[in-house]
Amino acid sequence: MIGVFDSGIGGLTLLKEMMHTLPNESFLYYADTENVPYSYKTTEQIKEFVEKAVVFLRTEGCKAIVIACNTATNVAIEYLREKYDFPIIAIQPAVKVAFDNNSGNKRILACATPVTLRSDRFENLINSLDINHLIDKLPLPKLVEYAEKEIFDGPEVLKYLKEEFSKFDLEKFKFVVLGCTHFTYYEDFIRANFPNLIPIDGNEGTARHLYNTLFTLNLLKSDEKGTLKFIESGKYVVDEGRFWRYLEK
């Protein structure tokens, strides 16, 4: 079984990709719904929440754990990898993919939570790739709140995105990196309303990375079809309807 962690329902966008890449694996999805959104928490609090979830998932028998949350990754991944010796896979934001495909040297908009954008880890990633200073950063914390309320489109979301994007001359941009798993729910909405922008997320690359890691460690399962269960802040979910609705989105 593979444990998947996010502060809320954002990580389900990555879970869907991983279930597609690894159809025989069983997954245990942990949403820290008592504490979402992490944007307004301190790094110490976030570290504590993430460690609690990781220990829970490991105790339930997970052979590997995926941190399907950029915010948690940027705050806690080094700490966790130092302390625990089981495989912990982290979501990779698609910044490199944006650079690799950025013909014409257009500007790149990196959207994430304020915690991610402030973090040394994210800053180091950008500095290692952005030699020509093409990246602009934009925090979009409200998208996390909209997603948690199941508001995926409509005038309120459009007004918010228009206001935020209007801080930039969009004609100069091509890729919008969605560096928060909650933002993936808005990919189609962004494409439809801001046609010159191409939104990209790190889900496919991360799912591939999980596959490669399990393969290398000889931990892949290849028999019957996998199962899926959900946890909310340490308790097994009985009414799974909300989770399945998000997965089907």
Contact segment (CB under 6 A) with ligand DGL among 2-10, 48-56, 119-127, 239-247 equals 2-10
* Residue ranges in 21-50 that form contacts with ligand DGL under rule CB under 6 A: 36-39
Q: Is 190 an interacting residue with respect to ligand DGL (CB under 6 A)?
A: no
- C-alpha distance from residue 143 to each of 138, 149, 180 (Å): 12, 10, 9
Contact segment (CB under 6 A) with ligand DGL among 1-9, 80-88, 155-163, 189-197 equals 1-9
**Strand, helix or coil for residue 189:** helix
- Exposure class string for 7-34: b at 16+ Cβ within 10 A, else e: bbbbbbbbbbbbbebbeebbbbbbbbbe
Locate all alpha helices (DSSP H) within the chain, ordered by sequence. 12-21, 43-59, 70-83, 95-100, 114-118, 120-129, 141-148, 155-165, 187-193, 203-216, 241-248
Tell the smallest beta-carbon distance from residue 93 to ligand DGL (Å): 9
* Residue ranges in 54-73 that form contacts with ligand DGL under rule CB under 6 A: 69-71
Nearer to ligand DGL, 99 or 183 (CB): 183
Which are the catalytic amino acids? 69, 180
Tell the smallest beta-carbon distance from residue 74 to ligand DGL (Å): 8
Interface residues toward ligand DGL, by CB under 6 A: 6-8, 10, 36-39, 69-71, 113, 116, 144, 180-182
